[in-house]
């Protein structure tokens, strides 16, 4: 059956008003150019529910309940590196018959994004304080000062370990939180200055 155009609420109210004034279904149907069955269903709905608005509860019910959605989000907050497959295993029978894509959609709705884990230098408290002090000391420097600075960059060559890509779930703006990054340590002899 083809989906038909939905009648406006105003038109439905006019159909009900015409019926209340004593007009029959066929006359109303010709007057508003809608099928007789449509006129009948609008008037029946009005008599039953006292409204012509669309009633709630139409359509398929979601497989993920609010309780299940909170459990999925809790799993990700506990371990941002968890995979959707592992989330499904942890949910067990409580997860019902949902797919990995459903878990992904639930996380996206909650504001989480599956992204590649960022690599940042491993900083202890002393390093963090030194960086903040440097930034505050150079905050109001003139543009002439910065034009005389030699800008260089350092690159890390992997001498050992692995360079695997790790994916995590995080919300927007949380990419560089310490729990969402892979700390890197540079070992002497592995750096080149450009």
Q: What is the pLDDT of residues 89-113, one digit of tens each?
A: 998 877 778 999 999 999 999 999 9
Measured CA to CA, the distance from residue 170 to residue 118 in angstroms comes to 11
Tell me the pairing of strands 118-121 and 181-184. Answer: parallel
Q: What is the pLDDT of residues 65-78, one digit of tens each?
A: 999 999 999 999 99
Per-residue pLDDT 10s for the chain (194 aa) are: 566 788 999 999 999 999 999 999 999 999 999 999 999 999 999 999 999 888 887 788 888 999 999 999 999 999 998 999 999 999 887 777 899 999 999 999 999 999 888 888 888 899 999 999 999 999 998 888 888 888 877 666 665 555 677 888 888 888 888 788 877 776 655 555 55
CA 161, chain centre distance (Å): 34
Other beta carbons within 10 Å of 168: 22
Measured CA to CA, the distance from residue 8 to residue 118 in angstroms comes to 51
Measured CA to CA, the distance from residue 84 to residue 169 in angstroms comes to 10
Measured CA to CA, the distance from residue 132 to residue 135 in angstroms comes to 5
CA 62, chain centre distance (Å): 16
Measured CA to CA, the distance from residue 182 to residue 179 in angstroms comes to 8
pTM exceeding the 0.75 threshold for the entire prediction: no
């Amino acid at each position: 059956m083809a989906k038909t155009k939905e009648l406006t609420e105003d038109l439905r109210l006019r159909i009900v008003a015409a019926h209340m004034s004593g007009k029959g279904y066929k006359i109303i149907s010709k007057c508003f150019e809608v099928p007789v069955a449509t006129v009948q269903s609008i008037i029946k709905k009005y008599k039953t529910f006292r409204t012509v608005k669309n009633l709630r509860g139409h359509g398929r019910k979601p497989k993920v309940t609010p309780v299940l959605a909170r459990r999925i989000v809790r799993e990700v907050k506990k371990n941002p590196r968890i995979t959707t497959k592992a989330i499904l295993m942890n949910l067990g029978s409580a997860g019902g018959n949902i797919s990995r894509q459903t878990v992904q959609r639930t996380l996206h709705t909650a504001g989480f994004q599956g992204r590649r884990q960022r690599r940042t230098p491993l900083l202890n408290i002393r390093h963090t304080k030194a960086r903040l002090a440097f930034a505050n000391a150079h905050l109001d420097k003139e543009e002439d000062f910065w034009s005389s600075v030699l800008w260089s960059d350092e690159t890390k060559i992997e001498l050992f370990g692995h360079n695997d890509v790790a994916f995590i779930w995080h919300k927007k703006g949380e990419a560089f939180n310490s729990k969402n990054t892979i700390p890197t340590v540079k070992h002497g002899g592995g750096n080149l200055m450009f």
